[in-house]
Amino acid sequence: MTSYSLWINKFLEDRNGVLGVVILLMLLGAAIFAPYLAPYPQDFTVTLHPREKLQPPSSKHLFGTDHLGRDIFSRVIFGARVTLMIAGVAISGALLIGTVVGLTAGYYEGWVGSLLMRITDIFVSLPRIVMALAVVAALGPGIRNAILALTITYWPFWARVAYANVVTLKKSPFVEATKALGASSNRIVFLHMLPNAAPGLIVRTTIGMGGTIITAAVLSFVGLGSQPPTADWGLMLAFSREYLPAAWWYSLFPGLAIFLVVMAFNMFGDTLRDVVDPRFRISGKGKKRIQKRKI
């Protein structure tokens, strides 16, 4: 049985991880088929229905309506598309930048590696939400600037993961043998070290998605992320504040969507880490996690 088959079997043994995957697949399905799943797809835009504003959940409107009479259920479904797009693009950029910086700093070390990692430490030391707010405030509100702010905010975490893996792998026998055969530095880094560091980077990506979604929602909530009439969960929460507690459904369902998605990514990433990281094991009926630390 291959290592990948063992990983899959271990992953399927953890109910939390499986539940997280199911929720994420439902989110992905909602994002892809939003025009077909939403009962009122026209409510994705600025369509107005004044006579139906702030109606409670009913058979006609499962999640009720907002202050403009738009169907909240339809907008929550379309919001999944916006959320995945923002988080996916931002995380992809952060993964690319962080991996390159980490690999470079770990392999070459010296003053180049020290400089890159000190810059990384500076970014890590700053509060993520505060830094993202500062970047978007300087560039101006909008989805593009929000994605750029999230990328700038999150890349150091992948840089540290890549750096730690490369520093460890540099002393491995197979790397020394590859050097002895005359392989170039780029070949060693990208064809030998990067694949070995990939599991840690993938785990960091799944866990980082949850934090990115929360930060993106905060940017929209304060008016620096998605702009009206975009069906964004954070933006919906921002407008719903004025109608609490009477129109409780207006804030409940977008907030619940954010909670479920972030929880699903964390459950998925947590289980994936247990599977691919040899320092973690799951044992016992209670699935208690035991971390083996080197003293």
For residue 286, the model assigns a pLDDT of: 40
Q: How far apart are CA 44 and CA 53, in angstroms?
A: 15
Cβ-based neighbour number of residue 278 at 10 Å: 7
Token pair for 252? 């409940």
For residue 169, the model assigns a pLDDT of: 80
Q: How far apart are CA 290 and CA 288, in angstroms?
A: 6
What are the 10-residue block averages of pLDDT along the chain, 295 residues in total? 66 83 91 90 78 89 90 92 91 92 84 87 87 89 91 91 85 76 76 80 87 91 87 91 90 94 90 69 42 39
Q: Which residues does residue 288 pair with via DSSP β-bridges, in sequence order?
A: 283
Token pair for 15? 């109910």
| Residue 244: CA count within 13 A, CB half-sphere | 9
Q: How far is CA 192 from the centre of its chain?
A: 27
| Sign of the dihedral through C-alpha 274, 156, 217, 47 | negative
| Sign of the dihedral through C-alpha 144, 150, 152, 154 | negative
Question: Domains in the chain and their CATH numbers?
Answer: 3-33+79-291 (1.10.3720.10)
Choose among 78, 74, 167: nearest CA to 116. Answer: 167
For residue 207, the model assigns a pLDDT of: 84
Give the three-state DSSP class for 125. helix
Rounded CA Rg of the chain: 22
